[in-house]
């Protein structure tokens, strides 16, 4: 279970939060506080680092085994958000939401095929805002959706208007797919437990090539303001990393989570539908242990590439005039609750790492336990860089929390998933999570208290003692999703995941 604090939301807190959410959508951009934060009168650069399918198994998030010294040193000069949540735990819906600043119900991107321009053609994306303010905007690797590993080396489901320049790295991990150990051969390589302890160097891997390309861009563009996105593919499956990263993680140190085998009796069918067969796609404990080690190795490899970017910023003397955001697009189950990977509304699928470092922030090196959303990145970067964001963004600037990690904050975090003919809408406060499946919870409800030792092992949705709490959270969910997306099809008896098991997620 993830660590949680003790501050519960009061009823008044819920109401304030509901009001804040509505205000953020309607507030004209002119009313937002745009602090002209520049370094010595020069615009700030932005280094925007993404990691695909990265959960919070990081040193700076307290993981006992995974060593991430480079992400940790970024955390030491920024703010680490301990309760940061994606809006949809699947690549394209999550990234689309972050990059447009809109919720998935607005973009209507719930799968890996639809492009947001078909729904909101004129939306100004985050990098577009910077381009309109004279920045050079470039992408290396996966910022918008790419099928991994299938589309590595292509533009994937990119948004061309967002960039002045695009780089699509492709390394020996693509060439050597036949060498993979695959414990779920019926699933695609992008959705299964497959891994490789690779020969060769970091620089031969796709992410090593990508880091080199991003460094070259920073070198070439250092004299003018830039927004450079560097999207790493790892630790997304297949879990490929040079062999040395596997060798430093002892297999017997990996403990598998325990969970009740009768869990399906206590939660709606939709809650566990992201892992079929349940539990663990049917793999053995030993196979899962090996797969988790590979996932950890891929994280440590990716961390080393982040280190190369940070070293370059220092070497180029850009560190004091570059804002850095490091984010993961969705969480990742590693066996807890019998689940693997993403697309659930549980904590470990919804929760993502988020670190923001801004030159001049008043409290670097702190952790914030406020419930924040990936949606908040767009208004935060506008605020930090002194730009006026477009109207209608759904998030809020995190700037107050960069200056004081405990600053007043009463916004909850929302995450939603899709089950083929209905959605699962989840609301997270600092103590509770409520999830409503289908309109008004017709397909089931869940309520979890993270201050309780049982956490997600006890569904309190039908416990009369928590009826008032549930009612408050349900009202919040209804208010935020006043017009939930509804397809014309009737709900099916068996909930479906958002994408096929053979798809490159």
CA dist list (Å): 452 to 8, 268, 448, 455, 457 = 12, 21, 8, 5, 10
**C-beta of 4 vs 92, nearer to Ca ion:** 92
DSSP letter string, 33-68: ------BTTBPPEEEEEEETT--S-SGGGT-SS---
The least CB distance from residue 329 to Ca ion, in Å, is 4
**C-beta of 330 vs 397, nearer to Ca ion:** 330
* Residues β-bridged to residue 416: 425
The least CB distance from residue 328 to Ca ion, in Å, is 8
Listed in sequence order, the residues at least 6 apart from 88 whose beta carbon sits closer than 8 Å to its beta carbon are 94, 97, 104, 110, 330, 415, 416, 417, 418
| In the complex, residue closest to Ca ion by CB | 91
The least CB distance from residue 449 to Ca ion, in Å, is 28
State whether the Cα torsion 313-314-317-322 is positive or negative. positive
* Rounded CA Rg of the chain: 21
**C-beta of 100 vs 330, nearer to Ca ion:** 330
* HSE-up of residue 16 (Cα within 13 Å, Cβ side): 10
The answer to whether 91 is a known catalytic residue is yes
Listed in sequence order, the residues at least 6 apart from 292 whose beta carbon sits closer than 8 Å to its beta carbon are 254, 256, 334, 335
The answer to whether 236 is a known catalytic residue is no
Question: What's CA 457's distance to the chain center, in Å?
Answer: 23
The least CB distance from residue 118 to Ca ion, in Å, is 21
**C-beta of 52 vs 300, nearer to Ca ion:** 52
**C-beta of 345 vs 446, nearer to Ca ion:** 345
The least CB distance from residue 233 to Ca ion, in Å, is 9
State whether the Cα torsion 177-183-184-186 is positive or negative. positive
The least CB distance from residue 106 to Ca ion, in Å, is 20
The least CB distance from residue 91 to Ca ion, in Å, is 4
List the catalytic residue out of 56, 86, 91, 237: 91
- Give the separation between CA 228 and CA 214, rounded to whole angstroms: 7
Q: What's the burial of 261, exposed, middle or buried (CB within 10 Å: 0-12/13-18/19+)?
A: exposed
Distance between start and end Cα atoms, the chain: 25
> Percentages helix, strand, coil for the chain, rounded to the nearest 5?
35, 20, 45
Do residues 202 and 304 touch, judged by C-beta distance below 8 A? Answer: yes
Do residues 32 and 378 touch, judged by C-beta distance below 8 A? Answer: no
Binding site for Ca ion (CB under 5 A): 52-53, 91, 329-330
**C-beta of 236 vs 321, nearer to Ca ion:** 236
Local structure of 79: helix, strand or coil: strand
**C-beta of 142 vs 370, nearer to Ca ion:** 142
The least CB distance from residue 222 to Ca ion, in Å, is 30
**For the range 115-119, what are the long-range contacts, defined as Cβ-Cβ under 8 Å and sequence gap of 24 or more?**
115/157, 115/159, 116/159, 117/159
Reading the block at residue 63, the tokens are 């993981």
**C-beta of 330 vs 369, nearer to Ca ion:** 330
List the catalytic residue out of 56, 57, 60, 145: 145
**Residues with active-site annotation:** 91, 145
């Amino acid at each position: 279970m993830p660590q949680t604090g003790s501050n519960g939301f009061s009823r008044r807190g819920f109401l304030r939060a509901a009001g804040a959410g509505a205000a953020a959508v309607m507030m004209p951009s002119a009313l937002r506080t745009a602090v002209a934060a520049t370094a010595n009168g020069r615009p700030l650069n932005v280094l925007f680092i993404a990691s695909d399918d990265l959960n919070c198994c990081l040193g700076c998030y307290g993981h006992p085994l995974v060593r991430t010294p480079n992400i940790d040193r970024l955390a030491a000069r920024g703010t680490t958000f301990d309760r940061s949540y994606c809006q949809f735990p699947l690549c394209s819906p999550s990234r689309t939401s972050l990059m447009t600043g809109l919720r998935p119900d607005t973009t209507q991107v719930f799968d890996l095929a639809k492009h947001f321009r078909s729904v909101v053609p004129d939306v100004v994306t985050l990098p577009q805002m910077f381009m309109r303010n004279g920045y050079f905007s470039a992408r290396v690797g996966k910022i918008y959706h790419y099928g991994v590993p299938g589309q590595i080396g292509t533009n994937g489901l990119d948004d061309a208007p967002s960039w002045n320049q695009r780089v699509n790295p492709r390394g020996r991990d693509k060439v050597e797919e036949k060498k993979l150990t695959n414990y779920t051969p019926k699933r695609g390589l992008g959705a299964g437990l497959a891994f490789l302890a690779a020969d060769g160097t970091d620089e031969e891997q796709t992410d090593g090539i990508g880091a080199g390309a991003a460094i070259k861009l920073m070198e070439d563009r250092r004299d003018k303001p830039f927004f450079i996105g560097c999207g790493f593919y790892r630790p997304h499956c297949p879990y490929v990393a040079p062999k040395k990263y596997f060798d430093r993680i002892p297999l017997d140190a990996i403990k598998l989570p325990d969970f009740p085998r009768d869990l399906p009796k206590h939660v709606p069918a939709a809650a566990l539908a992201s892992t079929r067969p349940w539990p663990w796609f049917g793999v053995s404990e030993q196979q899962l242990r090996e797969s988790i080690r590979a996932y950890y190795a891929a994280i440590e490899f990716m961390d080393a590439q982040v280190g190369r970017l940070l070293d370059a910023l220092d070497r180029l003397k850009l560190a004091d005039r570059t804002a850095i955001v490091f984010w993961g697009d969705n969480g990742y189950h590693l066996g807890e609750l019998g689940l693997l990977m993403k697309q659930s509304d549980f904590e470990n699928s919804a929760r993502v790492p988020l670190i923001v470092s801004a030159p001049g922030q008043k409290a670097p090196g702190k952790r914030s336990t406020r419930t924040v959303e990936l949606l908040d990145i767009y208004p935060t970067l506008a605020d930090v860089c002194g730009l006026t964001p477009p109207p209608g963004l759904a998030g809020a600037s995190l700037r107050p929390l960069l200056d004081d990690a405990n600053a007043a904050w009463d916004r909850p975090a929302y995450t939603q998933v899709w089950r083929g003919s209905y959605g699962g809408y989840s609301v997270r406060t600092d103590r509770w999570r409520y999830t409503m499946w289908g309109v008004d919870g017709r397909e089931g409800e869940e309520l979890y208290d993270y201050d309780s030792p049982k956490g997600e092992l006890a569904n309190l949705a039908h416990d009369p003692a928590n009826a008032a709490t549930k009612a408050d959270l349900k009202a919040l969910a209804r208010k935020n999703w006043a017009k939930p997306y509804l397809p014309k099809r009737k709900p099916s008896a068996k909930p479906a995941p958002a994408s096929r098991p053979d798809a490159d997620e």
